[in-house]
């Protein structure tokens, strides 16, 4: 089993991914955290000092490094689908797209200091809308299942994913 969570920033990939992995008793791998671990610095630092392109290289490298692990849930960063190479790598797992509204993303990132693409922006909502236009078709292309945003609790969403995947 290899489940991969994709979706925009603040769609809950890390939070739900961890819960899903606990529920299924498999490992949890967070690609953003793997990037930070192997670089020894934060994602903000990488964007500031090395730039986005270098971050994308690091992100692809960590995805490739972790993709063959079995019995795991993998949470990705929101920009992982931008690269065609990454999109092909994602095919090695069952891809779950967490569809999330702009409003929810704005609410959840209002005090965020860790997402460089939003820190650099004077209008977060506009930035999120622009990213969505480019990325939504890519998320859809990669997804095996799509989980639409609801007011349900994390546990309920986890159960919904399990149901849709026909897992027990």
Non-local (6+) Cβ contacts of 24 within 8 A are 1, 3, 73, 162, 167
143 or 167: CB nearest ligand S3P:
143
User: Which of 3, 4, 5, 9: binder of ligand S3P (CB under 6 A)?
Assistant: 9
- DSSP, collapsed to helix, strand or coil, labels residue 72 as strand
CB 168 → ligand S3P: shortest distance, Å?
28
- Indicate whether 34 belongs to the interface with ligand S3P (CB under 6 A): no
Can you point out the beta strands (E) in the chain? Answer: 2-6, 27-30, 72-75, 94-99, 145-148
Rule CB under 6 A: say whether 58 interacts with ligand S3P: no
Q: Which is nearer to ligand S3P, 111 or 168 (CB)?
A: 111
Q: Classify 9 in phi/psi space as left (phi over 0), alpha (psi -120 to 50) or beta.
A: beta
Asked if 12 is part of the footprint of ligand S3P (rule: CB under 6 A), the reply reads no
Interface ranges with ligand S3P (CB under 6 A)? 9, 13, 32, 43, 77-79, 115-117
């Amino acid at each position: 089993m290899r489940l991969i969570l994709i979706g925009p920033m603040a769609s809950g990939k890390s939070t739900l991914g961890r819960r899903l992995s606990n529920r299924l008793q498999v490992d949890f791998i967070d690609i953003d955290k793997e990037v930070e671990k192997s670089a020894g610095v934060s994602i903000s630092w990488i964007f500031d000092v090395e730039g986005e392109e270098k971050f994308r290289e690091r992100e692809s490298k960590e995805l490739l490094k972790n993709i063959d692990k079995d019995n795991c849930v993998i949470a990705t960063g929101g920009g992982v689908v931008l690269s065609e190479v990454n999109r092909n790598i994602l095919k090695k797992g069952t891809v779950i797209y967490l569809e999330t509204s702009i409003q929810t993303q704005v609410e959840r990132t209002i005090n965020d200091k860790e997402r460089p693409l939003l820190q650099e922006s004077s209008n977060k909502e506009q930035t999120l809308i622009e990213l969505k236009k480019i990325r939504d078709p890519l998320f859809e292309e990669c997804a095996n299942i799509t989980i639409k945003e609801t007011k349900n609790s994390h546990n309920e969403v986890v159960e919904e994913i399990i149901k849709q995947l026909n897992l027990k």
